[in-house]
Amino acid sequence: MYIVKDRPQDAFDPFQTVFGYFLHKTAVQIFDVIRYDPLGCIGLGRQNDMFFCDYRLYPFSLEEELNTQLFKRTTRSVEITQEGLIFLNDAKNVLNIITLAKKRFEEPVVDERQFFSIGCHSSNELHLLPEVLRQMADFCPMLYPVFQVVPFQHLYQLLDEEAVDVIIAFQEKGSKKTDGIYKELVQVRITGVLPATHALAERELLDEDDLRTQRLLLLDPQRCPDRLNAVQHGLAAERAVSDLLMCGSADACVTLAKAGFGIAVQPDFPSLRDPALAYIPIKDVEPLSYGAYYKSITGKPLLKAFLQVCKEYFSSMD
């Protein structure tokens, strides 16, 4: 039997892993023989020294490893215990999984999937993409989208390392985030989000005086685009802390607005609107540029198609 001494428990030994698989397979066969024909197992052992060796030695080692008794042994017979029956069932399931895994790779298969990796800063932005991806899949049936939802600066590092094909995000100003190219897809208004039954829900615009009468639901500055953070900072100036509620995500802001906790200051994407809420533009606040960051479209037909479909889709939202 293959035994490794003085080896850290978390060390990985490929040989022991593979060899252990065949020993476990033999053990399961032994268990079945013992379960249905205890005396036959001993007879079989006398005819086959290798099988007999496994039968006599391996179960003891296994019992020691599992810290439980799998067999009741006497000088005349061997009987499987209830614990042994439970282990036998688990072992059979494991062997079935391993067998299926082996068969999956027995014949080489050509992977025709066309991977396309999309990065964004929040899961909320994924709700903008279903129609875009549906249209892409119409001409590319093997399209295989992969999403990377990553905090701000780390996401741009993925683009620089070409670990994502494209990032959809608000345009960042000031410090340079990436060497990638930015393409604007749509201008997004900043709105006050409040229940449709709210007293201010019928207004065409919300001005500073309107907002000062309400608690503001703002996005955590660490999770907020630079431009939106600047807007939030201006609106929060000279406000009491009790008049501000910082939220960890756009979804959290909107949920609290819907519950009547205040007015959420949020970019307005018409396709994401909730009919139970009103989205009122905030006066004298410039819209934000929302678009795509990428490295190059040369030799990347999926990226080129994505940008084209996005441009058409977001233009229809204006």
297 within some domain: yes
Judge contact between 223 and 174, C-beta under 8 A: no
pLDDT tops 80 at residue 108: no
In a domain, 3, yes or no: no
**Maximum CA extent, the chain:** 96
pLDDT at 87: 79
Nearest to 306 by CA among 198, 186, 168: 168
Closest by Cα among 100, 80, 72, 88 to 28: 88
Stated pTM of the model: 0.66
Rg, C-alpha atoms of the chain: 32
Residue 56 lies in a domain: yes
pLDDT for 142 beyond 60? yes
Which residues, in sequence order, are bridge partners of residue 291? 169, 184
Tokens of 9: 């428990």
Q: Nearest 5°: CA angle at 57, between 51 and 60?
A: 135
How confident is the model over 32-71, as pLDDT tens digits? 555 545 444 444 444 444 444 444 445 567 777 778 887 7
Structure tokens, 85: 């029956």
* pLDDT digit string, tens, across residues 143-175: 999 999 987 668 888 888 889 999 999 998 754
Identify residue 5 by its one-letter amino acid code.
K
The answer to whether residue 147 sits within a structural domain is yes
pLDDT value, residue 245: 95
Tell me the sheet residues that pair with 212.
none
The domain that holds 80 is classified in CATH as 1.10.10.10
**pLDDT tens by residue, 209-238:** 899 989 999 999 888 888 899 999 999 988
Q: What is the pLDDT of residues 13-42, one digit of tens each?
A: 443 444 354 445 555 555 555 554 544 444
Q: Distance between CA atoms of 162 and 158, rounded to whole angstroms? A: 6
User: Mean of the pLDDT values across residues 185-205?
Assistant: 95
Is residue 187 over pLDDT 90?
yes
- Give yes or no: residues 87 and 18 share one domain: yes
Domain span at residue 178 reads 114-185+291-315
Q: Which of 42, 70, 104 is the last residue of a domain?
A: 104
Structural domain tally of the chain? Answer: 3
Both tokens assigned to 144: 């295989």
Characterize the bridge pairing of strands 244-247 and 216-219.
parallel
Average pLDDT, the chain: 81
Assess if residue 165 is contained within a domain: yes
Identify the CA nearest to 27 among candidates 47, 64, 53.
Answer: 53
**What is the CATH number for 152?**
3.40.190.10
Q: In this predicted model, what pLDDT tens digit does every residue of 286-310 receive, in sequence order?
A: 999 999 999 999 999 999 999 999 9
* Of 31-35, 53-57, 193-197, 271-275, the least confident: 53-57
End residue of a domain, out of 58, 78, 104: 104
Least Cα distance to 150 among 306, 295, 293, 309 occurs for 293
pLDDT score at 179 = 77
pLDDT, position 2: 36
